[in-house]
C-alpha cells in the first residue's frame, strides 16, 4: 500500500497524477476462504480489516452485490455521536467515536473528520426529562452532555428563528453533545477497503450472494453467488436490510423488520450552521456539509419497506417540521434525496452474534449504524475470530430475545 | 403517497392513518407452546421481499382499523378488504 502523504502527492503531481497505484486489487474469486464477509459496506469492510489486523486472519473475502460503499454507508447523514441511553449502549458508542477520531491516522486516509458538536433543541418537558436522564447515565461512561439556555441556543445557531414564545412548541432549552461530529462517508468505505486489501483481504464487487449453504452437519458451509459457489467455515452477514432475505435461505428466523430511513440535501449555501442540529420534538435533524449543503433527515417510515427512495409524506412532514424552526430555509432548493433500507430488531438495539447455524454470524439491527462502524467492525472481528462476544457487545446477542431481556434504546432515530 | 382503502371512507390519504404494525402469527396457547415458540410469537414477524400483511388505523378519519397486504418493494397495496385496489 502506497502511503498517502504530502510527499507522495508532490511526487505524483510531478508525474501528472498518472502513476497512482490502485487503492485495492480486483483478484480472481477463489472457491474457498477462511472467512466470507457478505457486504462491502462500512461494517463488512471494517470487520475484514480488523480480522486481518487484530486477529491475523487475512484469508477473507468480502463479497458485494453492487459496488463498494454503495449501500447504507452512502445513505445516511454521517452523524457520529454517543448520546445514548442504556448502560449497554453508551460504552460501545464512546469507543466508536474515539476510534473514528483516530481513523485518519489509523487508515492513512483523510476522513475529513469534523468534531463540530451536536445541539439538541428541546421543545417538550418529557423530552427534557429524558435527555437529562441520558445526561446522568452518559456522565458515568465519559460521554458529554450539558444543558444550555434558549438564548445560548439562539446565539450558537443564528438561523434558528422559529420556536418563539408564541410557537406551538416553544424552545425550552438545548442539550449540547460536544463529542459529536461528521466525516466523509466515502472515505470511511475506501479507507477500510484499501487498508484491508493491503493486509491480504480480497474484495469482490459485483458478486451477489444468492443463498447460504449448510453442510451435512448443519453448520454453514459457504455461499452461492452469481459467480459460483464459494466455501468457508465462517460466514458473516453484514448486509443491513437484507439480513433476513439471506438467513431465510437456511431457514433461520430472526426478530428483524426492514424499514426505510431517508434523507435529503439542499443546494450549497454560505456557511450558516456550524453544529449538528437535532430537533427530536419536531422530528428532524440536519448539519451543513463542508460543501455548504444542508443534509437533512427526518423520522423513518414506520412500515416495512425495501425501497431506497423517500416517501412523499415523510418528506413533507420533515420539511414542515424544519420550516417551523428554520423559516428562512424555505428559500433553499433541494438537490438530492435518498433512502436506505435497514433492519430493526424487536427492541431497536443491534444484534451481533453467532446464529443457531454454527459458523454463521450476523451484524444487524443497526439504526445509526454509521457511527458504529469502527467499534462494530472491531467487536465483530473479535466474535468471529474468538467465537465469543467482545465485552462491549456481550449484551447484544440473540440470547436476549430468548430471555425477553430487551435493551430498549431511546437514542436511536426510531425512538424519537 | 399511498391511498389506503378504508371500508367506510373509501381511498384516503396515508397521512390520515396511523401505522398499526405488521400482522404476526396467531397467538399460540401459552400452556401448550414451548419457550422458543412463545418467544418467536412475541418477537418475530414475517419480513418478506414482497407482500406483507399489516394494520392501519384511520385515526384522523372514521377510526376504523384496516388490514391490508402491501408490497414492501413498491408500496403497492396488493390486497385490501374491499377487494382489489
Check pLDDT > 70 for residue B60.
yes
Residues 6+ apart with CB under 8 A from A242: A258, A306, A341
pLDDT bucket at A410, cuts 50 / 70 / 90: low
Bridge-based pairing state of the strands A60-63 and A284-288: unpaired
Collect all residues of chain A within an 8 Å Cβ-Cβ radius of residue B44.
253-255, 346
Q: What is the pLDDT of residues A218-251, one digit of tens each?
A: 999 999 999 999 999 999 999 999 999 999 999 9
What is the pTM (predicted TM-score) of this model? Answer: 0.94
Check pLDDT > 80 for residue A298.
yes
Q: What is the mean pLDDT of residues A37-48?
A: 97
Nearest to A313 among B1, B35, B39 (CB): B1
Check pLDDT > 80 for residue A391.
yes
Burial A221-260 (b: 16+ CB within 10 A, else e): bbbebeeeebbbbbbbbbbbbbbbbbbbbbebbbbbbbbb
Check pLDDT > 70 for residue A182.
yes
Give me the pLDDT at residue A178, please: 95
pLDDT bucket at A403, cuts 50 / 70 / 90: confident
Q: How far is CA A144 from the centre of its chain?
A: 20
Give me the pLDDT at residue B25, please: 86
Collect all residues of chain B within an 8 Å Cβ-Cβ radius of residue A303.
19, 22, 54, 70, 72, 75
Question: What is the Cα–Cα distance from B79 to B85, expressed in whole angstroms?
Answer: 7
Give me the pLDDT at residue B82, please: 64
Q: What percent of chain A has pLDDT over 70?
A: 98
Q: What is the mean pLDDT of residues B56-85?
A: 87
Fold topology of B3-25+34-79 = Folate-binding fold (3.30.2270)
Q: What is the mean pLDDT of residues A91-114?
A: 96
Looking at CA atoms only, how far is residue B8 from chain A in angstroms? Answer: 23
Check pLDDT > 50 for residue B85.
no
pLDDT bucket at A46, cuts 50 / 70 / 90: very high
Give me the pLDDT at residue A157, please: 97
Q: Coil, helix or strand for B71?
A: strand
Mean pLDDT of chain A: 94
- Per DSSP, A403 falls in state T
pLDDT bucket at A411, cuts 50 / 70 / 90: low
Check pLDDT > 80 for residue A412.
no
**What does the DSSP assignment read for A44-70?**
HHHHHHHHHHHH----EEEE-SSSTT-
The CATH code of domain A30-109+184-255+346-415 reads: 3.50.50.60
Check pLDDT > 80 for residue A342.
yes
Q: Which residue has the higher pLDDT, B9 or B81?
A: B9
CATH of range A118-180+258-345; options 3.30.9.10, 3.40.1170.60, 3.40.190.290, 3.40.50.450:
3.30.9.10
Q: What is the pLDDT of residues A14-37, one digit of tens each?
A: 999 999 999 999 999 999 999 999
Check pLDDT > 70 for residue A122.
yes
| Cβ contact, residue pair B73, A307, below 8 Å | yes
Give me the pLDDT at residue B50, please: 94
Whether residue A258 lies within 8 A of chain B, CB to CB, comes out as yes
Q: Where are the domains of chain A?
A: 30-109+184-255+346-415, 118-180+258-345
Question: In this structure, what C-alpha cell is assigned to residue A46?
Answer: 471494517
pLDDT bucket at A415, cuts 50 / 70 / 90: very low
Using a CB–CB cut-off of 8 Å, the residues of B that contact A are: 1, 13-15, 19, 22, 35-36, 39-40, 42-45, 47, 49, 52, 54, 70, 72-75
Amino acid at each position: 500500500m502506497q502511503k498517502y502523504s504530502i510527499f507522495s502527492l508532490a511526487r505524483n503531481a510531478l508525474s501528472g497524477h498518472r502513476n497512482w497505484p490502485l487503492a485495492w486489487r480486483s483478484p480472481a474469486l477463489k472457491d474457498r476462504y477462511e472467512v466470507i464477509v457478505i457486504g462491502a459496506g462500512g461494517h463488512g469492510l471494517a470487520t475484514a480489516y480488523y480480522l486481518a489486523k487484530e486477529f491475523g486472519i487475512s484469508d477473507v473475502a468480502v463479497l458485494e452485490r453492487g459496488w463498494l460503499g454503495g449501500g447504507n454507508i452512502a445513505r445516511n447523514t454521517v452523524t457520529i455521536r454517543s448520546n445514548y441511553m442504556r448502560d449497554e449502549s453508551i460504552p460501545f458508542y464512546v469507543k466508536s467515536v474515539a476510534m473514528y477520531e483516530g481513523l485518519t491516522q489509523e487508515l492513512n486516509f483523510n476522513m475529513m473528520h469534523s468534531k463540530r458538536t451536536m445541539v439538541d433543541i428541546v421543545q417538550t418537558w418529557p423530552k427534557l426529562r429524558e435527555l437529562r436522564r441520558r445526561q446522568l447515565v452518559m456522565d458515568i461512561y465519559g460521554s458529554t452532555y450539558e444543558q444550555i439556555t434558549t438564548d445560548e441556543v439562539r446565539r450558537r445557531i443564528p438561523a434558528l428563528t422559529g420556536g418563539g414564545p408564541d410557537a406551538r412548541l416553544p424552545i425550552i432549552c438545548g442539550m449540547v453533545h460536544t463529542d459529536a461530529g461528521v466525516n466523509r462517508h466515502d472515505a470511511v468505505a475506501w479507507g477500510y477497503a484499501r487498508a484491508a486489501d493491503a493486509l491480504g483481504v480480497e474484495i469482490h464487487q459485483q458478486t451477489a450472494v444468492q443463498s447460504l449453504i449448510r453442510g451435512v452437519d448443519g453448520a454453514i458451509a459457504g455461499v452461492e453467488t452469481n459467480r459460483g459457489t464459494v466455501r468457508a467455515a465462517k460466514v458473516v452477514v453484514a448486509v443491513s436490510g437484507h439480513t433476513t432475505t439471506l438467513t431465510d435461505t437456511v431457514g433461520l428466523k430472526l426478530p428483524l423488520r426492514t424499514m426505510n430511513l431517508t434523507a435529503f440535501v439542499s443546494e450549497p449555501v454560505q456557511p450558516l450552521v456550524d453544529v449538528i442540529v437535532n430537533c427530536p420534538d419536531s422530528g428532524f435533524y440536519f448539519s451543513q456539509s463542508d460543501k455548504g449543503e444542508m443534509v437533512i433527515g427526518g423520522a423513518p417510515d414506520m412500515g416495512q419497506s425495501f425501497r431506497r427512495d423517500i416517501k412523499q409524506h415523510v418528506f413533507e412532514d420533515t420539511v414542515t417540521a424544519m420550516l417551523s424552526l428554520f423559516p428562512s430555509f424555505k428559500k433553499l432548493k433541494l438537490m438530492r434525496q435518498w433512502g436506505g433500507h435497514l433492519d430493526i430488531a424487536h427492541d431497536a438495539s443491534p444484534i451481533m452474534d453467532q446464529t443457531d447455524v454454527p459458523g454463521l454470524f450476523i451484524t444487524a439491527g443497526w439504526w445509526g449504524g454509521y457511527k458504529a462502524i469502527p467499534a462494530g467492525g472491531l467487536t465483530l472481528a473479535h466474535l468471529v475470530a474468538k467465537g465469543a462476544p467482545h465485552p462491549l457487545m456481550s449484551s447484544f446477542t440473540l440470547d436476549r430475545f430468548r430471555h425477553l431481556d430487551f435493551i430498549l434504546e431511546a437514542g436511536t432515530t426510531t425512538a424519537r | 403517497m399511498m391511498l389506503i382503502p378504508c371500508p367506510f371512507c373509501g381511498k384516503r390519504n396515508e397521512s390520515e392513518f396511523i401505522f398499526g404494525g405488521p400482522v404476526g402469527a396467531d397467538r399460540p396457547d401459552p400452556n401448550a407452546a414451548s419457550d422458543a415458540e412463545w418467544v418467536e410469537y412475541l418477537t418475530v414477524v414475517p419480513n418478506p421481499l414482497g407482500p406483507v400483511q399489516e394494520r392501519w388505523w384511520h385515526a384522523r378519519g372514521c377510526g376504523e382499523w384496516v388490514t391490508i397486504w402491501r408490497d414492501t418493494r413498491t408500496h403497492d397495496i396488493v390486497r385490501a378488504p374491499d377487494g382489489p385496489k
